[in-house]
Amino acid sequence: MALIPPHSGSLINRLRTGPQGEALVAEAAKLRSITLSQKQSCDLEMITIGAFSPLQGFMGSADFERVCKEMKLASAGSEGEAWPIPIVLAVPGADAPKVGEKVALKTPGGVLQAVMTVKEVYPHDKKMMIRAVFRTEDPAHPGVKQVLDEGDVCLAGPVDSVLVCPDPSGPEAFLEQRLTPAQTRAAFEAKGWNTIVAFQTRNPIHRAHEYVCKCAQEICDGLLIHPLVGETKKGDIPADVRMRSIDALVKKYFNAATTMVTVMPGAMRYAGPREAVLHAIVRKNYGCTHFIVGRDHAGVGNYYGTYDAQKIFDTIDPKSLAIEPLKFEHTGYSKSYGGMVSGKSYPKIEGDIINLSGTAVREMLAKGERPPVEFTRPEVADVLIEWARGAG
Query: What amino acid positions are annotated as catalytic residues?
Result: 202-203
Distance between CA atoms of 245 and 249, rounded to whole angstroms?
A: 6
Torsions phi, psi for 177 (to 5 deg): -110, 5
Bridge partners (DSSP) listed for residue 81: 73
Q: Within 10 A of 182 (CB to CB), how many other CB atoms are there?
A: 16
Q: Within 10 A of 139 (CB to CB), how many other CB atoms are there?
A: 12
Q: Are the CB atoms for 337 and 374 separated by under 8 Å?
A: no
Distance between CA atoms of 136 and 163, rounded to whole angstroms?
A: 35
Q: Who's near 67: CB < 8 A, 6+ residues apart?
A: 59, 73, 74, 83, 84, 85, 86
Nearest to 229 by CA among 217, 220, 238, 219: 238
Q: Regarding beta strands 290-293 and 324-327, do their DSSP bridges make them parallel or antiparallel, or are they unpaired?
A: parallel
Q: Are the CB atoms for 380 and 373 separated by under 8 Å?
A: no
Distance between CA atoms of 126 and 152, rounded to whole angstroms?
A: 8
Give kind and range of the element (H or E) at residue 324: strand 324-327
- Axis-axis angle for helices 61-70, 126-134 (nearest 10): 30
Question: In the chain, what is the straight-line distance between the N-terminal and C-terminal CA atoms, in Å?
Answer: 51
Give kind and range of the element (H or E) at residue 366: helix 358-366
Concatenated DSSP letters of 238-297: PHHHHHHHHHHHHHHHS-GGGEEE--B-PPP---THHHHHHHHHHHHHTT-SEEEE-TTT
Q: Are the CB atoms for 289 and 195 separated by under 8 Å?
A: yes
Residue 191 CB-density burial (10 A; 0-12 exposed, 13-18 middle, 19+ buried): middle
